[in-house]
A and B are shown apart, each in its own frame.
Chain A
Amino acid sequence: QQQVKQSPQSLIVQKGGISIINCAYENTAFDYFPWYQQFPGKGPALLIAIRPDVSEKKEGRFTISFNKSAKQFSLHIMDSQPGDSATYFCAASPRANRDDKIIFGKGTRLHILP
């Protein structure tokens, strides 16, 4: 299955809270898992990415947690700010060869209440 399932579809979090977005996959050939952030009226932009040989990657307030056995990964936004309000896409890439492209989840619209 070349699918990446993302939840929730939308999320509302209070300022200062933790935002959590979850993704699941089935294809064990996936070996690269990026997250993209999209602001209204803009294209998506790479936020953070992880490979399955590590269980966690942190960049500032953004952390990816990866559970290889469960085939799940999640994005945690600590101390969420109104400026984090955006649509977030998880994604997966099968392998690094010429014909394999990133497969995106359906997105989560995050709104941080001021």
Chain B
Amino acid sequence: KNQVEQSPQSLIILEGKNCTLQCNYTVSPFSNLRWYKQDTGRGPVSLTIMTFSENTKSNGRYTATLDADTKQSSLHITASQLSDSASYICVVTAVKGGSGTYKYIFGTGTRLKVLA
């Protein structure tokens, strides 16, 4: 069964600190993995996307890693800011071979709160 699990469910850190969010997946056939940031009541915004052959991708203070062998990904946030308070969602894309269609499997997200 295609599944994406994220941990922790929630996290509270102080402004300026670093943190790492985890994403484990069992999705086949794998196409890519994307991290989204979602502010409360708003649509998700893409942070990074990685394909099978990519190990790391950065977007400013956000750095995502991917280990395709262990099917794990992490999102590292450096020098956190108050505006980083949001939910972070890991989404894995699976491709249905012959039909060419694809399916997005969502994790339930990690809710991050950054305190001053």
Is chain B a partner of chain A in the same complex? no
Give the interface of A toward B (CB within 8 A).
none
**Partner-A contacts on B (CB < 8 A):** none
